[in-house]
Amino acid sequence: MTKKDWEYGISKTLIDSETLRARIKELGAEITRDFAGKEEDLVVVCLLKGSLLFMADLIREIKLPITIDFMEISSYGNDFASTREVKILKDLEGSIMGKDVLIVEDIIDSGLTLKKVLKIIGGRGAKEVYLCTLLDKKVKREADINVQYVGFEIDDEFVLGYGLDFKQEYRNIPYIAVMGEDFE
């Protein structure tokens, strides 16, 4: 069996690397401006695994002292529909008590996952919790959440690449793509 092409089945590029880079630079500048006057260092939390690439690029554009932490939750299996069950697979290492926290997410769909994450993090005494998502499928929103930083609003299509997966593959594709009909 030969290994399939790493871009197998992708029907089109939705957001190319250059566009991602430029927008993330803007988001970083905006976050830098907003938090420059605060006394405490911001804790930037990456929600694994989807946000890994976005996180790595975003924090390089935040020109302030920050700390980073990671959390992995399961809310979405290999299915197309959210199960709405949130389980902590990997928890934060540090305390967020009294701190400003910026949660970095890859994509918000219904918002139900993030709503639960907010409840967990908020319950640990964070001073203020802010949200930053690379992609926002706003038309699908069910939960009432306040997102301060949005990279791109997108239509309701299944996207992958730049951290986002299809059955755990395709995360290493350096741009956001739309899945073709013949994916397997």
Name the residues annotated as catalytic.
109
Residues 58-97 that bind ligand XMP (CB under 6 A): 75-76, 82
Figure out which of the listed residues 15, 46, 50, 102 binds Mg ion, where binding follows CB under 5 A.
50
What sign does the dihedral 164-169-171-176 (CA atoms) show? negative
- Give the separation between CA 41 and CA 20, rounded to whole angstroms: 26
Residues 52-111 that bind Mg ion (CB under 5 A): 106
The verdict on 13 binding ligand XMP (CB under 6 A) reads: no
Figure out which of the listed residues 20, 46, 164, 173 binds ligand XMP, where binding follows CB under 6 A.
164
- Give the separation between CA 39 and CA 160, rounded to whole angstroms: 37
Cβ-defined contacts of 5-9 (< 8 Å, 24+): 6/170, 6/172, 6/173, 7/173, 7/177, 9/179, 9/180, 9/182, 9/183, 9/184
Closest to ligand XMP by CB, 131 or 164: 164
Closest to ligand XMP by CB, 6 or 125: 6
Figure out which of the listed residues 34, 72, 165, 169 binds ligand XMP, where binding follows CB under 6 A.
165
- Give the separation between CA 175 and CA 97, rounded to whole angstroms: 36
Residues 99-138 that bind ligand XMP (CB under 6 A): 106-114
Least gap, CB of 82 to ligand XMP (angstroms): 4
Closest to ligand XMP by CB, 29 or 89: 89
- Cβ–Cβ < 8 Å for 77, 83: yes
- Cβ–Cβ < 8 Å for 96, 68: no
- Residues in touch with ligand XMP (CB under 6 A): 50, 75-76, 82, 106-114, 158-160, 164-165
